[in-house]
Structure 1
Amino acid sequence: MPSGARGLPPGVGPHDKWIDVNLSRQRLYAYVGTQLIRQFVVSTGVAAYPTVTGTYHIYVKYVSTLMTGPGYYLPNVPYTMYFYRGYGIHGTYWHHNFGVPMSHGCVNMRTPDAQWLFNWAPLGTTVHIHY
Structure 2
Amino acid sequence: MRIKGLGRAAARGWHVGLLAVGMAVVGGNPAAAELLDGMRVASIETVEPAAENEKPGPQTIVARVDLSDQTMHVYVDEKLTHVFTVSSGRGSYRTPTGRWTAEWLSPRHRSRKYNNAPMPWSVFFYRGYAVHGTTDLKRLGSPASHGCIRLHPDNAETFFKLVKANGTENALVSIVR
Same fold, judged at TM 0.5 (above): yes
| Larger strand percent | 1
Query: Which of 1 and 2 has higher RCO (CA within 8 Å, sep 6+)?
Result: 1
Tell whether 2:71 aligns with 1:27: yes
Tell me, which stretches of 5 or more residues in structure 2 are unaligned? 1-58
SS in structure 1 at match of 2:168: coil
| 1:6 corresponding residue in structure 2 | none
Q: What's the CA shift for 1:75?
A: 4.4
- Aligned residue for 1:46? 90
User: What RMSD, in angstroms, separates the aligned Cα atoms of the two structures?
Assistant: 1.4
- 1:126 and 2:172 correspond: yes
The structure where helix makes up a greater share of residues is 2
Instruction: Compare CA radii of gyration and give the structure with the larger one.
Output: 2
- What residue in structure 1 maps to residue 101 of structure 2? 57
User: Identity of counterpart residues, as a percentage?
Assistant: 30
Q: Does 1:96 align with 2:141?
A: no
Q: Is the 8 A contact 1:96 1:110 kept in 2?
A: no
Quote how far apart the aligned CAs of 1:17 are. 1.8
Q: Could you tell me which residue of structure 1 aligns to residue 12 of structure 2?
A: none
User: What is the rounded CA distance, in whole Å, between the counterparts of 1:128 and 1:22 in structure 2?
Assistant: 9
SS at match of 2:116: strand
1:75 & 1:51 partners in 2: Cα distance?
A: 18
The 3 A distance-change label for structure 1 pair 79 and 40 is: same
Q: Could you list the per-position Cα deviations for residues 55-78 of structure 1 after superposition, in whole angstroms to 9, with x for gaps in the alignment?
A: 001100001112032xx3134421
Q: Can you list the C-alpha shifts for 1:70-102, whole angstroms capped at 9, x where unaligned?
A: xx3134421011000110000101443100000
1:107 to 149, 154, 158: 149
Supply the distance in 1 between the matched residues of 2:150 and 2:137 (Cα, whole angstroms): 9
Cα distance in 1, alignment partners of residues 140 and 147 from structure 2: 14
Moved more, 25-34 or 83-92: 25-34
Cα distance in structure 2, aligned partners of 1:75 and 1:99: 20
**Does 1:37 pair with 2:96?**
no
Instruction: Mark the runs of 5 or more structure 1 residues left unpaired by the alignment.
Output: 1-14
SS of residue matched to 1:52:
coil
Cα distance in structure 2, aligned partners of 1:95 and 1:16: 29
One-letter code of the match for 2:144? M
Write out the 4+ residue segments of structure 1 that deviate beyond 6 Å after TM superposition. Answer: none
